[in-house]
Structure 1
Amino acid sequence: MTRLLLTTAVASVLALTGCIDVTVSTPAYASGSHQSLQGGDFTAVLDEEGDFRLTGADVRVSGEVAGRLRASAAEFVARELHAGALSVTAADISFSGDVDGPVTLTASDVSWRGSVGDAVEIRAADLHFEGQVGGRFSAQVADAELSGAFAALDISAADLELARNAHVRGDVRANAADFEMDGRIDGQLDLSARTVWINGELNAPMILNVDPGRGRLSPEDGLVELNGDTVGGMICARRVVIRGDVNGPLEVMADAPPQLLNGAHAQDMTFTARNGQRCERNS
């Protein structure tokens, strides 16, 4: 195994699979036989035909890795990066570019702008994601804001927002404290939450279990607001307010009949008193 210690301001390293241009502020090591770069703080421009690994403190990278890029860092910043697949563990992740295959991210804060051809798995505290995802998008986060085009979503969050330009072609299964949807979902929305605002467009029947919890309740605990266009479904909640159009059968179980405001339409709606029953998924 051949290693080159990079201590100059700018170095160019020939690896077995391509070329690495590296700027370092602390010593870094390039390994040709293992296709990897490790050190303290460094910036790398990659051109790799296979898999590659990065390990460092503050890591900044651009270029192309045809295989899987694996990275472990305190701060990982990718700008105009293309990879065949991507796996990153870091405190903070900031990404722009595109990935052909699957993406796995574990971090405190994640900011993503770009496309993914396959599935995405994310564990994070704060997530801001803008892009296109060809496979299923799965995430466990505290706060998330999603925009762009998605095949399907499976996500758990405290605060979850689907922005105005978010479009999910398939199903959405979510658990959240506060859920706000301003975009469009073509598949089924299966949601367990504490407060829900549907301001966008739902094109398949929804299943909303919006439980207010126990103890002291705020006016928004257990609230569902339908402010956009929906096609009906089932809602279990404390209170339901409808300001948009419901264009299909809607079953509501709540503490009181839904309020229809601002000329809302819900012609095929049935109501059942909740009588303290918990709003929970069957499975």
Structure 2
Amino acid sequence: MKNRLLLSTVTATAVILIACAPVPLAATTSAQDGTRITGGDIRLALNEDGNARLTGADISLSGRVGGQLDVTGADISLRDISIGSLDATGADVRLAGSVFGDAEITGADITIRGNIAGNLRVRGADLRLEGNVDGDVDGSFADARFNGQLGSLTANGADISLTDNTRVVGDVRLNAAELETDGELGGLLYANVRTAHIGGSVAGGVDIYADEGRRWRDHEDGLVEITGEVSGGTICARRVVISGSVTGPLSVRALEPVSFAGEGAAPQLEYTPRGDERCRR
């Protein structure tokens, strides 16, 4: 009986130890499929000519993937890495490296530092992009800050900021609560916003609808402020303030006449009282 008791105790202990052991990574490699890894926390330096697919919890990768990198996890960190193309989904996603093709990133907090040679599609809550995207950027998020060069930008968000180090070669098309740009925009700025602060330069002109809502509360609701250089365009707003320069024809519909501050100038301004009409396309 004593021996049976001892054997039962040893067996139970072994079961507990096996249950508590860390889950091993499962990895397969083939010339056709590339590398596939599934596990808990993954820390790897990759050197893959083909594709790689990784699924885990906290994932930290460096190195090189010549083909497509598909990565899904909670906390994803891609540092000192070069990738053919990227598809990443996680809560926190951080990319510091180069993508030679397209990239698609979905997450809550997203930070991108590096270069993407193709197009970027991003979906998240907070986005910080410091780097260059040669192709088109298509994004939906709450808050976004851009600092670098983009081919073009299409975005939906709450607060969108383009810093003075930002250059967009093509058009910018936005739906946002608040827009602030101090960058250099080479194409058209097309925006549906609640508030817009336009610094820097807009070479392709503006097409801005700034609707203050049925019951505006903040003094900036429905405000379009131009502090930079704009080539011209159309604006519908509650109020327009110009302290920069508008070099070409500018058509404004607003509740109030256009205000000028400092050295603000718009020599080809056409103002139309808006009346009860909302600023809707």
Identity %: 40
Unaligned regions of 5+ residues in structure 2, if any? 1-21
- SS of 1:266's partner is coil
1:39 alignment partner in structure 2: 39
The amino acid across from 1:82 in the alignment is S
- Deviations along 1:195-250, one digit per CA (max 9) or x if unpaired, are 00001111111100000001242100000000001111000000000000110000
1:220 alignment partner in structure 2: 220
2:24 alignment partner in structure 1: 27
* Distance in 2, Cα, partners of 1:95 & 1:26: 26
1:243 alignment partner in structure 2: 243
* Distance in 1, Cα, partners of 2:278 & 2:25: 57
Unaligned regions of 5+ residues in structure 1, if any? 1-24
CA contact (8 A) 1:26 1:42 kept: no
Deviation at 1:279, TM superposition (A): 1.2
Given the alignment of the two structures, is residue 70 of structure 1 paired with residue 70 of structure 2, yes or no? yes
- Deviations along 1:150-204, one digit per CA (max 9) or x if unpaired, are 0100000000000110000000000000000011101000000000000111111
1:107 alignment partner in structure 2: 107
CA contact (8 A) 1:148 1:167 kept: yes
The amino acid across from 2:164 in the alignment is R
Higher-Rg structure is: 2
* Distance in 2, Cα, partners of 1:214 & 1:82: 49
> Counterparts of 1:116-195 in structure 2 under 5 Å?
116-195=116-195
* Distance in 1, Cα, partners of 2:267 & 2:100: 46
Deviation at 1:42, TM superposition (A): 1.8
Deviation at 1:27, TM superposition (A): 2.4
Deviation at 1:135, TM superposition (A): 1.0
* Distance in 2, Cα, partners of 1:93 & 1:155: 19
Deviation at 1:75, TM superposition (A): 0.5
* Distance in 1, Cα, partners of 2:238 & 2:53: 51
- Deviations along 1:60-84, one digit per CA (max 9) or x if unpaired, are 0000000000000001001111000
Deviation at 1:265, TM superposition (A): 1.1
The amino acid across from 1:90 in the alignment is G
The amino acid across from 1:29 in the alignment is A
* Equivalences, count: 257
Higher helix content, 1 or 2: 2
Question: Normalization by structure 1: what TM-score?
Answer: 0.89
Deviation at 1:26, TM superposition (A): 5.5
1:7 alignment partner in structure 2: none
Deviating above 6 A after TM superposition, structure 1's stretches of 4 or more consecutive aligned residues are none
Deviation at 1:29, TM superposition (A): 1.7
* Distance in 1, Cα, partners of 2:196 & 2:273: 19
The amino acid across from 1:203 in the alignment is A
Change (3 A) 1:26 1:163: farther
The amino acid across from 2:76 in the alignment is F
CA contact (8 A) 1:26 1:41 kept: no
- C-alpha RMSD of matched pairs (Å): 1.0
